[in-house]
Amino acid sequence: MTDVSSEVRELAGREYQYGFVTDLETDVAPRGLNEDVIRLISAKKNEPDWMLEWRLKAYRGWLTMQEPSWQKARYAPIDYQDIIYYAAPKPKVAPASLDEVDPEVLAMFDKLGISLAEQGRLSGVAVDAIVDSVSVATTFKEKLADVGVIFCSFSEAVQRHPELVRRYLGTVVPRRDNFFAALNSAVFSDGSFCYIPKGVRCPMELSTYFRINAADTGQFERTLIIAEEGAYVSYLEGCTAPMRDTNQLHAAVVELVALDDAQIKYSTVQNWYPGDAEGRGGIYNFVTKRGKCAGANSKISWTQVETGSAITWKYPGVILQGDNSVGEFYSVALTANHQQADTGTKMIHIGKNTSSTIVSKAISAGHGQNTYRGLVKVLDSASGARNHTQCDSLLLGGDCGAHTFPYVEVKNPTAQVEHEASTSKIGEDQLFYCRQRGIPEEDAVSMIVNGFCREVFKELPMEFAVEAQKLLSVSLEGSVG
């Protein structure tokens, strides 16, 4: 029998089940970063000149920028010359159909529980599978094309839909938005591209699965989703990486654009390798995600479940430009072992009667440090703007921490902004109550934590909600000594 604290200390022992490495023949760029490496990446992808120019401008901007230090996370300095910026499983030419995908790659995804081969028959989810720097397969393309939806890798979009990429790339997250976004803009390798034409409701969930496989590589994906007037799309992303002793950098940029009456729902289950019990290894997840409600009555909703990564640094935000537009952010962040998460959102109200909702649930265990950092900014143009923010933290044990930094800037007197916050410890009382009813301790912890997250889980698409609950339970496994 254990008391709560010793039991929670055991959280450190949680096992990461996606930590295997697949032996793929990989084409890599030389270590380090300079203009030649960027030219190499661009050439590998056979990119047009404008794309290379765009990258080089980003790189030159990045050289003048400083790595941010305001986030509440501690880590050793990153040597940007010791990272490999491009790694691709061979063959590097994108396969025309699933039959041409390397069987090793298909087997790897099977092992991750995502059967690309069976996608066509079984589930109603279209998947873009990305390994290291390239997209290896995209399912359901033809079916989506029938309704005019474009869903492909970013590289393919640059080749086949350059006008759309040029029109929207960097319009939500500018090249020099921040240090990591600038780095991404210079070296981004692949990612997903979605375009939903006017009036189309995307007939299935779109999903990207990111997998880091090669060692010492950074992953710099770039995702761009555009919903034209009246369009609707629900997009999911999942991520895993092998267990390695060294830290790996993942600096992604995601841009969403919603025009009049359009809706984008973006869900993430992030389970990058978090490092071991002593805090060795794990992914640095430094990500810039932002959506722009460019049109009136548009809506962008972010839902994230963050259980992985050694350090998470991300603030999926919404620029509420169109009148009556709506932004939502629902987040569950779990930090165990020595994980650090500094995450939250930015809601920028520009249009009239814009509204935003923020629900953040932070769970800290072991030596985990969990920070909510959010900005609600109401410009003077945004009359009638409303925001409701709710931040709840749950502590498991005495060695972890929860922090909340809400920033609120209001320039319009008609705005209403509400903020609620709570911090609680997983109660001995709650645990005892469950156990007295016959529920074993481990199940009780998992039940209480899942209950705490319910408001967020109910925003996830069904399959993902089940996945997320399982993930939390696995993360909490071994919590009883």
Partner 1 sequence: MLRIENLHASIGGNEILRGVNLEVHAGEVHAVMGPNGSGKSTLAQVLAGRESYDVTGEVLYEGEDLLALSPEERAAAGVFLAFQYPVEIPGVGNLYFVRTALNSLRRRQGLDELDAIDFLSLARERMGLVEMDESFMSRSVNEGFSGGEKKRNEIFQMAVLEPKLAILDETDSGLDIDALAVVAQGVNALRSEGRAMLVITHYQRLLDYIVPDVVHVFAEGRIVRSGDKDLALELEQHGYAGVEQRAALTPSAAPVGATP
CB of 334 to partner 1, least distance (A): 15
Between 141 and 435, CB nearer to partner 1: 435
Task: Return residues touching partner 1 (CB under 8 A).
Answer: 1, 3, 427-430, 432-441, 443, 447-448, 450-455
Q: Are 236 and 272 in contact (CB under 8 A)?
A: no
Q: Which is nearer to partner 1, 64 or 436 (CB)?
A: 436
For partner 1, which is the closer residue by CB, 216 or 443? 443
The structure tokens listed for 154 are 């970013």
Q: How far is the CB of 426 from partner 1 (least distance, A)?
A: 10
CB of 450 to partner 1, least distance (A): 7
CB of 472 vs partner 1, minimal distance in Å: 12
From the list 253, 249, 226, 248, the residue with the least C-alpha distance to 237 is 253
Complex with partner 1: residue 246 or 422, whichever CB lies closer: 422
Closer to partner 1 at the Cβ: 189 or 360? 360
| C-beta closer to partner 1: residue 399 or 442 | 442
CB of 448 to partner 1, least distance (A): 6
Between 216 and 455, name the residue whose CB sits nearer to partner 1: 455
CB of 452 to partner 1, least distance (A): 6
Termini Cα distance of the chain:
8
What tokens were used for 193?
Answer: 């591209």
Shorter beta-carbon distance to partner 1: residue 127 or 448 = 448
Q: Nearest CA to 322 among 356, 349, 301?
A: 349
Do β-strands 282-293 and 247-250 pair in parallel, antiparallel, or remain unpaired? Answer: parallel
Instruction: Quickly count: other Cβ atoms within 10 Å of residue 85's Cβ.
Output: 27
Q: Find the shortest distance in angstroms from Cβ 441 to partner 1.
A: 7
Query: Least CB distance from residue 432 to partner 1, whole Å?
Result: 6
